[in-house]
Amino acid sequence: MDNTNKTIVHIDEYHFLWFVINRPDKRNAIDYDVMEQLNRAIQIAKTNDSIRGFVITGTGDKAFCSGGDLTVFHRLKTKEEAYSMLSKMGNILYELLTLPIPTFALLNGTAVGGGCEIASACDIRVALHNNVKIGFVQGNLGITTGWGGATMLMEKLQPADALTLLYSGKIYNVEMAKHLHFIQSMQPLSTRQQQSEYIDNQLVQSANVLRSYKSALIKKWVFSNVQERMAEEINTCAMLWARDEHHEAVQSFLNK
C-alpha cells in the first residue's frame, strides 16, 4: 500500500491495517517521516469502513519502538521548538487513541519512552516473546511523557499501576508488565499470518459492531476532556525540555 524505507503499511486478508515501523538500525525510533506516515495510515483506517482493526508493530525482534529519534530531536532546544514536535505527535496519538476500531500494539521487542506512549494509545498490548521489555524512561532524561502518554496510561490502567510505571522510570520485563496490566498477554507468534489469525480470533466479524463498541469508549474520553488533558501534559513536557537538566541528560546518553 504505502511502503517506504521507514514504514510498511498494508491491509491484510482479515481487513486489518498494519503499520510496521521499519527502522531496526535505529531501534524503530520515530522521526518526522514516521510521524507523517503514521498519521496517514490512521486517516486511511478512519475513512475505510471495511477495516476491522489497526495493528502497530516493528521490524525485527529487538525493538518495538525506542521513542523519539534523539539524533533528530536533540536539535530542539527551546520550549517552542519542542512543543511543535511534541504536539504534532500528541495529536497523532489522540487520533490513534480515538480511532473507531480495535487497535493493537504487538510488542515485537523493547518499547521505551515514546514507544510506550504509542502502545498506550492502543486498546490491546501483546508481547510476542518473553524478551520484550517496556519502560517509561522519560523521567531519566529530565522530562515527562511528551506525547500525552501519562494521560492515556491513566485511562487504561489503575492509578497505582500507572504511577508505578511513570514514577520509577524503570525497565520492566513481560511478567512485571503483565502484573501492572500494561501488557494483556504474551503470545509467541513469529509470523504475520499467525499474528493476524490471533487478532482475528479476538474479534467478532462485523466491523460495524466493533466500531459501535469502540465509539462508547471514545464518548467517555471526549466527556472527560482527554484531548485537553493531553495538551496540558505536552505543554509541561515542552517546558521541561528547554531546561539544562534535559539537554545534559540527553547528551550524556548519546555519548555512551
The whole-number pLDDT of residue 123 equals 98
| Bridging pattern class, strands 110-112 and 133-135 | parallel
Taking domain 7-202, whether its CATH number is 3.90.226.10 is answered by yes
Asked if pLDDT for residue 132 goes beyond 80, the answer is: yes
Q: Sketch the domain layout of the chain as residue ranges.
A: 7-202
| Bridging pattern class, strands 133-135 and 172-173 | antiparallel
Average pLDDT of the residues in 117-145: 97
Could you tell me how many residues make up the chain? 256
Grid cell listed for 34: 514516521
Beta-strand runs (E) in 97-165:
103-107, 110-112, 124-127, 133-135
The distance of Cα 133 from the centroid of its chain, to the nearest Å, equals: 14
Digit-coded pLDDT (tens) for 67-122: 999 989 989 999 999 999 999 999 999 999 999 999 999 999 999 999 999 999 99
The whole-number pLDDT of residue 254 equals 85
The whole-number pLDDT of residue 65 equals 98
The whole-number pLDDT of residue 2 equals 53
Asked if pLDDT for residue 33 goes beyond 80, the answer is: yes
Look at residues 163, 103, 158 and name the one whose alpha carbon lies nearest to residue 136: 163
The whole-number pLDDT of residue 67 equals 96
The distance of Cα 147 from the centroid of its chain, to the nearest Å, equals: 9
Whether 74 contacts 124, CB under 8 Å: no
The whole-number pLDDT of residue 1 equals 54
